[in-house]
Amino acid sequence: MEQQTDKLFETSLTAVEALAYASVAPEQGVDASVDGLTYAVPRALADLAVGDRVIVPLGRGDKPVAGFVTALRDDPPEGAGTRYQLKAILKRDAHSLSLPGDLIELARWMAAYYCCPPGMVFATMLPAAVKRGTGRVVKMMVRAREKSPVSEQDARLSKLQRAVLEAAGQRAADGEPWTEVRELANLAGAKTTGPVRQLIDKGLLDAMPADAVHGAPLLSVAETGVDALEGRVANLELTDGQRRSLEHLAARIGEGFGVHLLHGVTGSGKTEVYLRAIEGAMGKAGPGIESGPAINFSLVGDAIDLSSLEGRRPVRGEGSDDQRLSGQEAREPTFSQPLVGGQHSAAHPHHGGAIVLVPEIALTPQTVRRFTARFGDGVAVLHSGLTAAQRHEQWRRIRAGEAAIVVGARSAIFAPVRDLRLIIVDEEHDASYKQDQLPRYHARDVAVKRGQLLNIPVLLGSATPSLESYYNTRPESGRGYHLLHLPDRVAGLKLPKVEIVDMNCERQQRGAILLLSQRLEDALRQTIAEGGQAMLLLNRRGYANYIACPDHRCGWMMGCDFCDTLMVYHKDRSLPAGGVLRCHHCGAEQILPRLCPLCGKRVSVFGLGTQRVEEQIERLLPDAALARMDGDTMRSGRDYHAALEAFRHGQVRILLGTQMIAKGLDFPNVRLVGVISADTAIHLPDFRAAERTFQLVAQVAGRAGRGEHGGLVIVQTFSPEQPAIALAARHDYPTFAEREIACRREVGLPPITRMARIVVRDRDHLKAAAHARDLAGHLGRINHDHNLGVHIRGPMPCPIARVAEHYRHELQLLAPDAGRLQRLMTTLRNARLLKSDQHTAVDVDPVMLL
């Protein structure tokens, strides 16, 4: 091969000239080996390390692409320099980015385990904003001046300026006073930001850079004051369960890797265990530390020491923490030792770090406050609401060791935390930890793997653990997870009483299918009359989910043109037709037809949706301020936060919503929880239908009775005999789990076995079927030849056989252990017979089977 003249694109190098050899995984989806491709390392890059991001020439055209160094070695691969010329790495990437070695190792594992090109795993690990080096563009935020005498000024203001002030006032009324300049102009209908800027100049609007508003989560602590939540932390005495769990962890944490499953009923204070486990792992809570300055949160209010909240270092009398906590104490944490007050650690030098995963939806100000109140600016928060620049900044802080504790949703498991010592996965059962596109990883399982690679403990927590994790605590699983229990609620609070209302009886007695039983309606009225708050769950958005011909003999139902699903009716007053039919799978929309297209009768609208419940409650209790929280009303994290704040402050009395409201919320004044229908998941063609139903009912029930008034939960169902519902009503997770595991064992399903699922999709029905058949043939042959004993189900159409004009067929692979599945799929992959692409989705440990 001829050498290129252009120095920069000097792509070939003979083996002798090379300093070393590197495996590079290009970011573009080349499904080569897990390690990637081999390149020569030129002299200029003598200090190259595993994890560095580099630019390499790829393919015939030697297109320069980015990739990561996954391995380095001294000897050339066989045949290099003789049979073929090795290409050389061109340079480092422009920002000299690198990933820590343990993430590289993790990426290799993920690429193999989840059947994903390694480059795509790296692309997932490193936020795009970091790669692009998105700068910190500081936006200007403004808000209305509280006491601005607008009326007096009115005359001197232009129409647009007045519109801007009005919009700013509206934002303040909505509880979100700070608005970005451009956004406020838009809200006021102004084409330019001129009117907003003029008002800033006139002093009628306050302005502040966005960083100061959003960047520092601590500001919100100061702004909202420290509420009952942190107040309770001040003098809390650990419950027996908390103490026992922490003692267990303290004893095990030094032993390196281990997985600990904390099964704590709702309201049992799992978060407090997390907080202290982190303090323990970071070697902070040793004896003697209490003498340091502590903030007593019960006294906070006005007297709060803002300088320390902002992370400014309080002056300390004795030697630095470094000296005090190094050596023995750091190694032997005793974090069951009650801390004085809410020990504030913002200013402590960090001894290692921790990652706390929470479901995206649970990243409420409430959760964030709990961590920032304890750890101050040592906390980085990662969630989908961050701008690219904010994400970049957080990543940089973490990588630089400025933030040692990361609280974030799924992808936060890839945070490049320095000296990571503990990983916590809260609500570990939550389905949102599974990514439904490449790489189809499960953050909980990746957390366990990362813990194993780093030889550090992993703490999983839930009130309703996944059967996978629960099973792994049993000896026969051979996985050796430790099970910890928090059987009681904190501070003497009791689990709420749960009543089941059989809607079959209700229908007979009242002669119609009603949304609210008499019992629930009465309880709701009483709760509101007594000054309490209520939460109502219906896990289905929209108004109604059956649009059908009323004539049973005709039987017409309104399906989606592009999917094998039914259309859902959404009311929308802004539309001329008053509403629209929407497909929840492909997003297609249609007008609600008046007449049945088959027989001409007037169509009926059946079924439940949150909008319909909202309408009914507004009729029944017109004065009870209700907020609806579902995918339609909550367009952004900001909406969600605003709605929760309104509920927290009591402006909203009834919170109605989908599973969004079921998770992690802790509002002491919630005295009633109503489950409008516990049956939304129970009949789904998915073997986890019962598990999901149990989780949903138990979790939402757990929102009730977190204050002194106790709590009542009313569960409406047409299937009161279903064990998932009956046992959730009795707060009996162990019995449910044992029963369900027995059922799964009988039919050979996870968690007893391991599953991988391959979904083939194509616009052409025959092609999809043929592709699935081919795959089944190859799989069957390899399975037989290698004597793997994998059970192959299918090919068969998926439960939803067509989505967005694509036909879908699936294969399910079941094996007694993951190793056999891996061997089967790797063999197929290496033979280039299996590839993840737009026609083929490989899902290892799938959680959704529709």
CA distance 770 to 809: 10
599 binds, options Zn ion, ligand ADP, none, Cβ within 5 to 8 A by partner type = Zn ion
With binding defined as CB under 5 A, does residue 549 bind Zn ion?
Answer: yes
Residue 763 CB, nearest distance to Zn ion (Å)?
Answer: 14
CA distance 581 to 559: 10
Which residue of the chain is nearest ligand ADP when measured via CB?
Answer: 269
With binding defined as CB under 5 A, does residue 558 bind Zn ion?
Answer: no
Phi, psi for 155 (deg, rounded to 5) = -60, -35
Cβ-based nearer residue to Zn ion, 563 or 834: 563
With binding defined as CB under 5 A, does residue 560 bind Zn ion?
Answer: yes
How far is C-alpha 173 from the chain's CA centre? 30
State the angle between helix axes of 270-281 and 365-375 in degrees (0 to 180), rounded to the nearest 10. Answer: 30
With binding defined as CB under 6 A, does residue 229 bind ligand ADP?
Answer: yes
For Zn ion, the binding residue among 312, 585, 823, 835 (CB under 5 A) is: 585
The footprint of ligand ADP on this chain (CB under 6 A) covers a number of residues equal to: 19
Which token pair is 332? 């032997």
585 binds, options ligand ADP, Zn ion, none, Cβ within 5 to 8 A by partner type = Zn ion
With binding defined as CB under 6 A, does residue 427 bind ligand ADP?
Answer: no
Q: Which among 4-12, 576-584, 754-762, 765-773 is the span making contact with Zn ion, rule CB under 5 A?
A: 576-584
For ligand ADP, the binding residue among 27, 52, 272, 645 (CB under 6 A) is: 272
78 binds, options Zn ion, ligand ADP, none, Cβ within 5 to 8 A by partner type = none
CA distance 25 to 121: 10
Residue 231 CB, nearest distance to ligand ADP (Å)?
Answer: 9
Cβ-based nearer residue to ligand ADP, 75 or 237: 237
Secondary structure (DSSP) of 437-488: SSS--BHHHHHHHHHHHHT-EEEEEESS--HHHHHTTSGGGT--PEEEEE-S
Strands 179-180, 258-264: pairing is unpaired
With binding defined as CB under 6 A, does residue 342 bind ligand ADP?
Answer: no
Whether the CB-CB separation of 698 and 464 falls below 8 Å is answered with: yes
Burial 60-99 (b: 16+ CB within 10 A, else e): eeeeebbbbbbeeeeebeeebbeeebbbbbbebbeeebbb
For ligand ADP, the binding residue among 87, 131, 232, 449 (CB under 6 A) is: 232
Q: Which among 326-334, 584-592, 668-676, 775-783 is the span making contact with Zn ion, rule CB under 5 A?
A: 584-592
Cβ-based nearer residue to ligand ADP, 371 or 441: 371
Whether the CB-CB separation of 533 and 557 falls below 8 Å is answered with: no
With binding defined as CB under 5 A, does residue 598 bind Zn ion?
Answer: yes
Cβ-based nearer residue to Zn ion, 400 or 598: 598
Which token pair is 34? 């897990």
With binding defined as CB under 6 A, does residue 233 bind ligand ADP?
Answer: yes
Q: Which among 36-44, 103-111, 238-246, 311-319 is the span making contact with ligand ADP, rule CB under 6 A?
A: 238-246
Residues 656-685 that bind ligand ADP (CB under 6 A): 666
CA distance 240 to 261: 17
For ligand ADP, the binding residue among 184, 238, 713, 798 (CB under 6 A) is: 238
Residue 61 CB, nearest distance to Zn ion (Å)?
Answer: 40
Q: How many CB atoms lie within 10 A of CB 623?
A: 8
With binding defined as CB under 5 A, does residue 596 bind Zn ion?
Answer: yes
Residue 404 CB, nearest distance to ligand ADP (Å)?
Answer: 21
Q: Which among 9-17, 168-176, 269-277, 793-801 is the span making contact with ligand ADP, rule CB under 6 A?
A: 269-277
Residues with Cβ < 8 Å from 251, sequence gap 6 or more?
none
| Nearest alpha carbon to residue 380 among 347, 343, 417 | 417
Give SS3 for 305.
coil
User: What single-letter DSSP state applies at residue 212?
Assistant: I
Q: Which among 267-275, 287-295, 613-621, 622-630 is the span making contact with ligand ADP, rule CB under 6 A?
A: 267-275
How far is C-alpha 77 from the chain's CA centre? 42
For ligand ADP, the binding residue among 141, 490, 503, 613 (CB under 6 A) is: 490
With binding defined as CB under 6 A, does residue 329 bind ligand ADP?
Answer: no
Residue 242 CB, nearest distance to ligand ADP (Å)?
Answer: 6
236 binds, options Zn ion, ligand ADP, none, Cβ within 5 to 8 A by partner type = ligand ADP
Residues with Cβ < 8 Å from 184, sequence gap 6 or more?
142, 164, 167, 168, 171, 196
Which token pair is 203? 């002093």
Residue 601 CB, nearest distance to Zn ion (Å)?
Answer: 5
CA torsion sign, 830 to 833 to 836 to 842? negative
Give SS3 for 67.
strand
563 binds, options ligand ADP, Zn ion, none, Cβ within 5 to 8 A by partner type = Zn ion
With binding defined as CB under 6 A, does residue 810 bind ligand ADP?
Answer: no
**In a 10 Å sphere around its CB, with 0-12 CB exposed, 13-18 middle and 19+ buried, how is residue 712 labelled?**
buried
For residue 190, CA distances in Å to 160, 163, 165, 167, 200 come to 6, 8, 12, 11, 15
For residue 840, CA distances in Å to 60, 687, 744, 755, 833 come to 26, 22, 27, 16, 11
With binding defined as CB under 5 A, does residue 770 bind Zn ion?
Answer: no
Q: Which among 10-18, 597-605, 639-647, 828-836 is the span making contact with Zn ion, rule CB under 5 A?
A: 597-605
With binding defined as CB under 6 A, does residue 369 bind ligand ADP?
Answer: no
598 binds, options Zn ion, ligand ADP, none, Cβ within 5 to 8 A by partner type = Zn ion
With binding defined as CB under 5 A, does residue 599 bind Zn ion?
Answer: yes
For Zn ion, the binding residue among 109, 257, 546, 556 (CB under 5 A) is: 556
CA distance 510 to 518: 9
Sites of contact with Zn ion (CB under 5 A): 549, 554, 556, 560, 562-563, 583, 585-586, 588, 596, 598-599
Sites of contact with ligand ADP (CB under 6 A): 229, 232-233, 236-239, 242, 264, 266-272, 490-491, 666
